[in-house]
Every structure is written in structure tokens, then in C-alpha cells.
């Protein structure tokens, strides 16, 4: 089949930040039209995958409170597997004991759930990219993004793996290169449902559109905002309190629908110093903003191994 052996292969599933998030409208199907800039962090979940005979997708490390069949990791693997079989990308024979189109998967999860860092979408994208190579399907990034979009609006950015100005529901991407700052990412002890934010009648949905004909590289992110933040700090006093504390030290803003807040610094040392001052009970980490996903090099090395 290829040079892939029976070992586990390890892949990062990085966090992302929404450096800003404008909601410019709502479509008739209920989805929101967005404008945002995505940037990756060098802080990742880790996903380990081993190929198995047959078609069984087995998640060896279930996530507490999430049924396996609802987990985006399993759903992404099954989605890709079904596409491969239905479109005869790989001929699967019940009698072919050499064909490995199943997988055992383990995840070491460090990205918080309900934080706005895109952890679930990143997990799904890593699965699609990794199994596409491990299974030998060799689908294009465009096709993987199409499949991934059915799992979540943020999945395509993780598949393409570059920082981007995004429009539509988040899938129309234009590459950009924002400054690769150091970030303190902090989260109060609360998880926020993305669906609850986007269905709230008080959510702002008419922010003026940033014109793509403008030079996006000159866009002053500090003059932008996160439309979800105004609503969330009304609904979640824990987020409001932490944000008020952080802005005394550095430019700080909520990412996505929260509850994580990122604070921007020029040096790792300064980010760590403010981290040491955080109030008790606040989850936090310090990470570098990066414009190329940490997954990119791993995938390039895997493709080389397969040849």
C-alpha cells in the first residue's frame, strides 16, 4: 500500500485565535456571515493514530461528557472513510486483509473545551489531514475543506494551515501575516456554548463590513472588536471580571465565542510575568502566535515518508 507501518503516528492539533470577529449579517439558513482574522498558536492537543485492518474507527481515549459517536474526531474519520468508499477512491474488498482503512486514535487534550480556541475543529482537521495521507486517499486540501466544513465552520482554516482573513461563515480565506506576538491565554472556570451565543437575540449582527479591496495588511486590528464579547460579558460575569483585570496589563480580547481571553505581549517573559499575577482559579498558558500551523511540517514529513 505505502511505507506506513503499524506504529502510532503523532500529530499536533493547534489552537487558533480570532484576532477580531465581526458579524456582518445572518443568512436565511441561520448561519452568520463573519469577518475575522485567524492566527494559530504553538500550543496544541496531540493526536496519535495507528492504522488497523477493516473499517473500525476506535477512539481509545474518550472525552468525559462527550459520546464517542458525537466526538468530532470520530465523525471526521468516519466522514473521510465513507467518502473514500462511496467514491471508490480506494477499492475496499472484504477479503483484502492488507487493506487498512480503520484506525485506532488517542488524544492528549490540553486545549479547553468551550474556550473559543477551536479545539474540536482543530481535532477534526488533523484527523482529516492525517488519515488522508495514512490511508493513501490523497484528496486535495480543497476537497478536505469541503468535507470539513460540514463538521464546523472553523475546520477549513485548520486544514489549509495558514493565518487568514476569513469571510462567509469562516471558509472564504485570504492569507495574511499578522505580527507573531506572544500571548497569554486565560480562561475563567466557565464553558460557553457557541450555539448559545449565535442564537442569542441580543447578539450584534450588523457590523460594517471591512472592504476586501482595502489592503488587509494595513488593517489595524486594535480598531476592530469581537461582536460576541459584548454579549458574553453580559451573560457571564466571570468573563467580564477577568477581562477587566487583564486590560490593565495588556491589550486583551475574547477569542471566538469565548470564554478564553488573549492578551498580547512583545516578549514571552512579560507574558509569563503577568500570568504569574493572575487571580486564583484561572486556567492559563503562554504561547507564540504563528502564521503557519504547527501541523504543516508534520504533514510534509509524513508525505515524504509515504513516498
Mind listing the pLDDT tens digit for each residue in 73-94? 999 999 999 999 999 998 776 5
Q: Distance between CA atoms of 44 and 15, rounded to whole angstroms? A: 6
Evaluate if residue 100 carries a pLDDT over 90: no
Task: Write down the catalytic residue from 45, 143, 154, 227.
Answer: 154
Give which of 72, 278, 277 is closest to 260, Cα–Cα.
278
Active site residue 16: yes
Section 171-193 average pLDDT: 94
Q: Which residues pair with 41 in a beta bridge?
A: 289
Q: What is the pLDDT of residue 1?
A: 42
Known catalytic residue at 241: no
Q: Which is more confidently placed, 213 or 220?
A: 220
CA dihedral 139, 142, 143, 147 (to 10 degrees): 130
Higher pLDDT: 204 or 211? It is 204
Contact 204, 34 (CB under 8 A): no
**16, 50, 100, 187: which one is catalytic?**
16
Looking at residue 185, its pLDDT comes to: 98
Q: CB-based burial of residue 150 (10 Å sphere; 0-12 exposed, 13-18 middle, 19+ buried)?
A: exposed
Please check whether residue 163 is in contact with residue 180, taking contact to mean a CB–CB distance below 8 angstroms: no
Please state the three-class secondary structure of 93-152 as a single string. CCCCCCCECEEEEEEECCCCCCCCCCHHHHHHHHHHHHHHHHCCCCCCHHHHHHHHHCCC
Mean pLDDT, rounded, of the chain: 92
pTM of the model: 0.94
Half-sphere exposure of 225 (CA within 13 A, CB side): 11
Residues 128 and 33: their CA atoms lie apart, in Å, by 25
Distance CA 99, CA 231 (A): 51
The DSSP output letter for 162 is B
- Please, what are the domains in the chain? 9-175+293-306 (3.30.230.10), 182-290 (3.30.70.890)
Amino acid at each position: 500500500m505505502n511505507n506506513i507501518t503499524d506504529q502510532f503516528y503523532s500529530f499536533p492539533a493547534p489552537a487558533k485565535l480570532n484576532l477580531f470577529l465581526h458579524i456582518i449579517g445572518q443568512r436565511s439558513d441561520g448561519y452568520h456571515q463573519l469577518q475575522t482574522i485567524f492566527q494559530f498558536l504553538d500550543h496544541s492537543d496531540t493526536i496519535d493514530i495507528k492504522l488497523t485492518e477493516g473499517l473500525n474507527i476506535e477512539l481509545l481515549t474518550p472525552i468525559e461528557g462527550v459520546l464517542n459517536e458525537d466526538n468530532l474526531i470520530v465523525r471526521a474519520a468516519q466522514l473521510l472513510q465513507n467518502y473514500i468508499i462511496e467514491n471508490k477512491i480506494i477499492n475496499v474488498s472484504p477479503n483484502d486483509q492488507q487493506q487498512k482503512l480503520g484506525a485506532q486514535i488517542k488524544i492528549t487534550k490540553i486545549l479547553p473545551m468551550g474556550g473559543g480556541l477551536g479545539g474540536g475543529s482543530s481535532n477534526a482537521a488533523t484527523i482529516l489531514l492525517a488519515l488522508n495521507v495514512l490511508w493513501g486517499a490523497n484528496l486535495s486540501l480543497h476537497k478536505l475543506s469541503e468535507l470539513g466544513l460540514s463538521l464546523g465552520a472553523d475546520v477549513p482554516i485548520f486544514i489549509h494551515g495558514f493565518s487568514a482573513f476569513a469571510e462567509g461563515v469562516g471558509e472564504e480565506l485570504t492569507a495574511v501575516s499578522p505580527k507573531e506576538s506572544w500571548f497569554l491565554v486565560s480562561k475563567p472556570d466557565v464553558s460557553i456554548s457557541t450555539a448559545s451565543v449565535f442564537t442569542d437575540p441580543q447578539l450584534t449582527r450588523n457590523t460594517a463590513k471591512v472592504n476586501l479591496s482595502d489592503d488587509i495588511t494595513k488593517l489595524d486590528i486594535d480598531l476592530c472588536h469581537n461582536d460576541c464579547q459584548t454579549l458574553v460579558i453580559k451573560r457571564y460575569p466571570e468573563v467580564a471580571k477577568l477581562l477587566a483585570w487583564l486590560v490593565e496589563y495588556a491589550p486583551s480580547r475574547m477569542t471566538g465565542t469565548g470564554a478564553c481571553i488573549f492578551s498580547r505581549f512583545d516578549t514571552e517573559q512579560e507574558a509569563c510575568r503577568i500570568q504569574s499575577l493572575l487571580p486564583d482559579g484561572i486556567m492559563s498558558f503562554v504561547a507564540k502566535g504563528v502564521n503557519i500551523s504547527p501541523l504543516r511540517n508534520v504533514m510534509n514529513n509524513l508525505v515524504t515518508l509515504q513516498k
